[in-house]
Structure formats: structure tokens, C-alpha cells
Amino acid sequence: MKIALHGKSITPEAIDCVKDLLQVLDEKSIDIAMSKDFEKQLKKVKLSANPERILLPGDDLSDIDFVLSLGGDGTMLDTIAYTAQYETPIVGINLGRLGFLATTPRGEINNAVNALVSGNFNVESRSLIHVDSNEDLFAPFNFGLNEFTIVKKETSSMIVVHTYVDGEYLNAYWADGLIISTPTGSTGYSLSCGGPLVHPRLKNFILTPVSPHNLNVRPIIVSDQSEITFEIEGRTNRFMVSLDSRSCSVDDKVKISVKRESFEAKLVRFDHNSYFDTLRQKLNWGVDARN
């Protein structure tokens, strides 16, 4: 078995967890690779390891059985750029706080490795969103797990996002912006803007306006077999677009369309947790603060 490790930071509280992980991988004679970012973090906290190779986004992962994402949900989003078309299963080890995606707590690292070795796990497929543009936005990693967003920049005034679904006019969103979310991303930015929770196995996009001018403009769910295109206008000609945790500035001449990516993300789930368990825990469903 060969496992790749990726993480963007190792906090003082997480050092012992990472040390335990490296030890258990060594004890089980599991070959490891690691991202360049994670190698830098290990050196920073003075931990040593002997990876077979160092990885960069876009490298061939066809020989890797699993990728362990060490951090929070942001690290999981970053990991998708490594797995890409190889669809290598990702195990999210939560060294952060919230963790809708990175659902394995730091105290369960040894159990997680044992489950991988014994085959006691499930793999969930999650759809990705793909962005096309005349400016090659986010290329070559123009795909994301959570959402694509258009928002205003350098102005307090709202913008107008003219939106089309398969060429048919949907709406002119007068708002601070517009979020196009996957079902996985429905627990992210879209949720904080009033979007619905959508089960990750469904095949949809969620369009959620950010602070719309007209309060009767509500989120809408469309099939992810659709292609969604946009025309943007505002008092200035500069706008911000983001794809998961990456963002850049564009002008009103940009042409953008989104659709479902041809490959998927594969997330490892262990028997002791489920999507509904995560929702209840993270959103405090059923909790009475009086008790």
C-alpha cells in the first residue's frame, strides 16, 4: 500500500498527531509520498520522514492508494487539485475545527489507518464543478468541490449577474454576488447565504444570490447536466470570481460558463460516521441549550 500525505500547516496542537501518524505508517510498512507543502511543514516543526517522492499538483497519482488530507475543510478542497482525474480516495483527518468534509478526528488516526489496511471503509463519489472562460481562469486546475462564486469588488454598490441555463435566460441577479454550489458545497458559503442543504449524492447545482436587492429572489436548484453561463455588469468593470479557496479579479468582458466536471472526488467514510451524523454534530441539531 502507498499513501500520500498533504497538509498546509501543522499547528503546535497537531504535532503529536502527525508524529503518531508517521509512526503507525512506518510500523505497518506503508510506503508514503507527500506534497511539497507538507514536506515544508514537517521541516518547520522538526519532524522527519522518508517519503518515496515529493508531489506537486498535477503529478501522476496512479500508484497512490489513498491521500490523507491533514487539516480542515480548506485542506480537503486543496487536496482535490492533487487527486484530479486520478480520483484517488481521500481521507480527511480533521486537525481544524468545523470539518464537514474532514470528518475523521485527530484522535482516530490509528483507527483510520487500520481500517484502510483491513478494507473496512466506504468510498463516496462527489461531483465537481468545472469552469470554462475566455481568460483560462484557474487553469489548469479549473475545477472545485464546493462552489464557484461571482462577487462585487472595489465598490459598495451591487452588481448584476445575468444568468442563463443551457442558453435559456434565468434571471438578472441584482446582488452582492452569486454562488453556484455543488451538493457538497451546500454546507459552505451557500448555506451562510440562505441556500438549502442538499444531500451530496444528488446531481444538482444550487444557485444562491449573495444579499439580493429583491427579497423575493430565492435560491434555485438545477440539474448538474446543465451548462450555466453569465454576463456581469456594475458601476465598475472589475469583479471577483472564486473557485473553492482560490480567487482572482476579472473585468466585464470575461465570458464564463460552469458545468459538471467529467471526473469526481472520492471521499473515504468509515463505518462510525455518516453524512447525517456530521450534520447533526456540526449544526447542533437536537441540542437544547437550556439543558
Supply the residues annotated as catalytic: 73
Q: Are 221 and 158 in contact (CB under 8 A)?
A: no
Contact 286, 280 (CB under 8 A): yes
Contact between 203 and 176 under an 8 Å Cβ cutoff? The reply is no
What is the DSSP secondary-structure string of 220-241? EEEETTS-EEEEEE-SSSEEEE
Long-range contacts of 77-80 (CB under 8 A, 24+ apart): 77/101, 77/144, 77/145, 77/146, 77/244, 77/245, 78/6, 78/8, 78/245, 79/6, 80/128, 80/143, 80/144, 80/145, 80/244, 80/265
Q: CA 178, CA 159: separation in Å to the nearest integer? A: 10
Q: For the CA atoms of 138, 141, 142, 143, what is the dihedral angle to 10 degrees?
A: -140
DSSP-based three-state secondary structure for 83: helix
- The per-type count for the chain, helices as H runs and strands as E runs, is 6, 20
